């Protein structure tokens, strides 16, 4: 939502806010997208496809707070012992896939992130790291406008101070450093370290 809001503030033709037009995002893996026909439709559009990836360590903490009424603590969630009441259902994901995706995140949250980020191997998708965007929003917008020849709304690039229409969590990049215990970080790295290194993330511990 942060990235969508940033694009909407700066580029013509991109809606802002959380009204009737919502971000085109999904929790589907490549396998799911192929099976349900979304992958083929996306490729046929012949338009730029941007994938915003976030450090799995921050993703796990965010997911834990995002999933409503978890009947467990974070350590339980990390090891697959969560009981979420619901997930927000958005994007092109087929409704019949919601329970499946929810179960994957509930039982194997780290592996769910690794499976979803398999999109990195698709050469027609542009990857951007959330942490880099947050660090320099203006540079990100300037780069996109030049790369894709997008028209800016004004000469002054606007940054996201507060998301429209929702009460967001802090979304601080690197917040995991103040949250994860050393053994928890080791546990995550053993399961996702290879993909994290592919995406340019460092162990830092």
pLDDT (tens digit, 9 = 90+) per residue, 154-201? Answer: 889 999 887 665 555 566 788 899 889 999 999 999 999 999 999 999
Q: How many CB atoms lie within 10 A of CB 37?
A: 11
Residue 111 lies in a domain: yes
Residue 129 · residue 54 · CB < 8 Å = yes
Q: Which of 61, 68, 65 is nearest to 184 (CA)?
A: 61
Residue 80 lies in a domain: yes
Tokens of 28: 């589907």
* pLDDT (tens digit per residue) in 61-80: 888 887 766 778 888 888 88
Residue 204 lies in a domain: no
Residue 205 lies in a domain: no
Query: Average pLDDT, whole number, for the chain?
Result: 83
pLDDT for 22 equals 45
Residue 138 lies in a domain: yes
pLDDT for 169 equals 59
Cβ within 8 Å of residue 43, ≥6 positions away: 124
| Structural domain span for residue 109 | 2-198
* pLDDT (tens digit per residue) in 110-150: 999 999 999 999 999 999 999 999 999 999 999 999 998 88
**Cβ-defined contacts of 190-198 (< 8 Å, 24+):** 191/110, 191/111, 191/114, 192/56, 192/110, 192/113, 192/114, 195/56, 195/113, 195/114, 195/117, 195/120, 196/55, 196/56, 198/120
Q: What is the DSSP string of 99-159?
A: HHHHHHHHH-HHHHHHHHGGGGG-TTEEEEEHHHHHH-HHHHHHHHHHHHTPPBSSSS---
Residue 42 lies in a domain: yes
Domain count, the chain: 1
Cβ within 8 Å of residue 92, ≥6 positions away: 24, 26, 28, 38
Q: How far apart are CA 57 and CA 205, in angstroms?
A: 12
pLDDT for 18 equals 46
Q: Which of 50, 32, 40, 36 is nearest to 133 (CA)?
A: 50
Residue 183 lies in a domain: yes
Residue 45 lies in a domain: yes
Query: In a 3-state reduction of DSSP, which class is residue 51?
Result: strand
CATH of the domain at 94: 3.40.50
């Amino acid at each position: 939502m942060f990235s969508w809001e940033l694009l909407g503030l700066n580029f013509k033709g991109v809606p802002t806010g959380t009204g009737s037009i919502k971000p085109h995002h999904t929790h589907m893996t490549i396998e799911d997208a192929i099976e349900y026909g979304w992958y083929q439709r996306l490729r046929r559009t012949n338009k730029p496809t941007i994938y915003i990836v976030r450090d799995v360590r921050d993703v796990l903490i965010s997911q834990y707070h995002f999933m409503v009424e978890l009947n467990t603590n974070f350590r339980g969630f990390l090891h697959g012992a969560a009981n979420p009441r619901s997930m927000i259902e958005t994007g092109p994901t087929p409704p019949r896939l919601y329970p499946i995706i929810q179960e994957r995140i509930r039982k194997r949250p780290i592996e769910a992130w690794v499976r979803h980020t398999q999109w990195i191997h698709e050469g027609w998708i542009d990857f951007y790291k959330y942490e880099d965007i947050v660090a320099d929003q203006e540079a990100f917008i300037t780069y996109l406008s030049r790369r894709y020849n997008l028209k800016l709304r004004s000469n002054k690039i606007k940054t996201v101070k507060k998301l429209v229409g929702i009460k967001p969590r802090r979304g601080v990049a690197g917040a995991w450093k103040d949250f994860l215990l050393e053994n928890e970080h080791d546990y995550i790295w053993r399961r996702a370290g290879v993909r994290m290194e592919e995406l340019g993330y460092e162990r830092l511990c």
